Structure 1
Amino acid sequence: MPKATKKAVKKTMPIKTIEPTIVPVAPKKAMNPKIIGLALVVVIIGLLTYKLGPKLVPALVDNRPVTRFELWSRLEKSYGAQALDDMINEKILDKAIADAGIKVDQTKIDDQIKALEKQFESTGGLDEALKQRGLSRKDLTKQISTQLAVEELLKDKISPTDDEVKAQFDNGATTTYKDKKFEDVKASITDELKQTKLRDAFLAWFAEVKKTATVKNFGL
């Protein structure tokens, strides 16, 4: 009988299951919001200082800065209350003019600006004069517009009579108007009296207007 052939049997290695090693990771600490906020402030200040250096620090004294904030604080303490009152009065006046329906012709404003330009021709020009007073053309236009509107509102109270003009001339006949003819100075006297009447009439009128305005001044 033929011998039985033995089949080669491959031995298999037992497979070990390798358990994954889990290394505990320490949880990240959340950054303190205050620290983040402070860092942002520092970055923003740095950028502003880089781009707006002269505006944020208008002066250096022995390399020590005079900051814009210090300047504003000083100005506020010195002039803040007056400036606030002026701004309140401007808003009251603007509303009173608007309520009265007064509209100023732009041509009249332009005429006054041209007259001022001519007046300051020999002293550096109107723009230089405005700069010295801390004003712009826009500020000047607003002032002229307001003045013309007030004159329109009070026109019935500010025109001097011929008798008032003559009396003013007679009072200064030996001083201001000495050796001058009445007709030569009548126009200038009339204008002076008009401005005086305008000031007095405006103060009286505006005092009454302020009584009707609701103002809440919280101070500085």
Structure 2
Amino acid sequence: MPKKAKVRKVTKKEIIETPITTSSPVGSPVQKSMNPKILRGALIIILIALLTYKLGPWLVPTIVDNKLVTRFSLWSRLEKTYGTQTLDDLVNEKILDAAIAKAGIKIEQKKIDEQIAKLETQFKDAGGLDEALKQRGLTRPDLVKQVKTQLEVEELLSDKITLTDAEIQKEFSDNEKTLYTGKKLEEVSESIKTQLKDAKLRDAFLAWFAEVKKTAKVKSFGL
């Protein structure tokens, strides 16, 4: 009689130590990745399309008979026509701002607001102040800056724009038969004061600013 084969018992330790594998005899398919060159090309095309959609009107403000008028050509023409004068204006603004700051001149916002209010009244019957600014290519912030600078210059040169009664009387007497026909001095004294003050301020500013520019350090590289 044949002997029975012995069945070996599997111990608990062997069960724990036996590795568990999830690998399948059938290999999983390998996905092919997109060609990097094709991917980069697609991204570039998408980027160009987005830029054209968003920046097109900015880069090309006008098209005439299918011909582009680029913003670069516009800037180039403006620079040739107004470039030198505009650059001089910007340089003068920087020099003036620096000189005023160095002098420690401070203007209260209340004074600026009062001057703006006067301008509002002045242009009320001419379509309003905003319309007047629009016609001159200016904005409210531009006006505020100009008013502030004007008041700062007046404060800085206040000792050079004082008026005497004799000067006012002379102006009235010299123009009594032309500008002030049928008027009394009392009626036009304020107008004369403003006129003489503005003239003195202009002359004093031109003389003062000419000296300031001599000491300014400006490096120009041309246009």
Q: TM-score range by the shorter chain?
A: 0.7 to 0.9
Alignment match, 2:161? 158
**2:186, 2:47 → 1: CA distance?**
69
Alignment match, 1:122? 125
Residue 88, structure 1, aligned to residue 91, structure 2: yes
CA positional deviation for 1:49 = 2.9
CA positional deviation for 1:48 = 3.0
CA positional deviation for 1:44 = 5.5
Task: Name the aligned partner's letter for residue 51 of structure 1.
Answer: K
**1:45, 1:216 → 2: CA distance?**
39
Partner of residue 131 from structure 1, selected from 109, 131, 134: 134
Q: Which runs of 5+ in 2 are unaligned?
A: 1-35
Cα gap change, 1:124 to 1:62, in 2 (>3 Å): same
1:102-121 Cα deviation digits (max 9, x unpaired): 00110000011111111112
Task: Name the aligned partner's letter for residue 194 of structure 1.
Answer: K
CA positional deviation for 1:55 = 2.3
Residue 56, structure 1, aligned to residue 46, structure 2: no
Residue 106, structure 1, aligned to residue 109, structure 2: yes
**1:116, 1:84 → 2: CA distance?**
28
Cα gap change, 1:44 to 1:158, in 2 (>3 Å): farther
Matches within 5 A, 1:36-75: 46-75=49-78
Counterpart of 2:148 in 1: which secondary structure? helix
- Aligned alpha-carbon RMSD (Å): 2.0
Residue 205, structure 1, aligned to residue 186, structure 2: no
**2:55, 2:214 → 1: CA distance?**
44
- State the percentage of identical aligned residues: 65
- TM-score normalized by the length of structure 2: 0.77
